[in-house]
Each structure stands twice: as structure tokens, then as C-alpha cells.
Amino acid sequence: MTLADYITWVRMERAKFMLKKYDFKLQEVATRCGYQDVNYFFRVFKSRSGQTPSEYRQSL
């Protein structure tokens, strides 16, 4: 695992935690995880988890 992969993994785990625990808007979750571009956050989240952040939150 490269450093970039590790950083992405940590960001995605943090995003999943926030989506489970808090009722933040998706843009707020993206910003708190270090993403300035919400659309890029959505793409990365979906490629890593197989679901969009909204789908992930609804499945909980």
C-alpha cells in the first residue's frame, strides 16, 4: 500500500464513521475528510465502497 492509498483509506474510514454517527450534509463530510471537490469525494467513495455516500448512509 502506497502512502497515497493509505491516506485515501483513512479518509474513507473517517467519512464512513461520520456518515454513520452524525447527520452532516455530504458536503460537510467531504470537507471534514479533506476533499475540496465534493464530486471527486463522491467518485472516490463509490470506487472504494461500491456505493455513493447517500446510498451508504441509507443502508445503515
**What does the alpha-carbon distance between residue 17 and residue 11 come to, in Å, rounded to a whole number?**
10
CB of 14 closer than 8 Å to CB of 20 = no
Residues 19/53, Cβ–Cβ less than 8 Å: yes
Q: What is the pLDDT of residues 49-59, one digit of tens each?
A: 999 999 999 99
13-45 residue pLDDT tens: 999 999 999 999 999 999 999 999 999 999 999
Q: In the chain, what are the domains?
A: 3-58 (1.10.10.60)
46, exposed or middle or buried, with CB in 10 Å at 0-12, 13-18, 19+?
A: middle
pTM for the model stands at 0.90
Which residue blocks in the chain are alpha helix, DSSP H? 3-21, 26-32, 38-49, 53-58
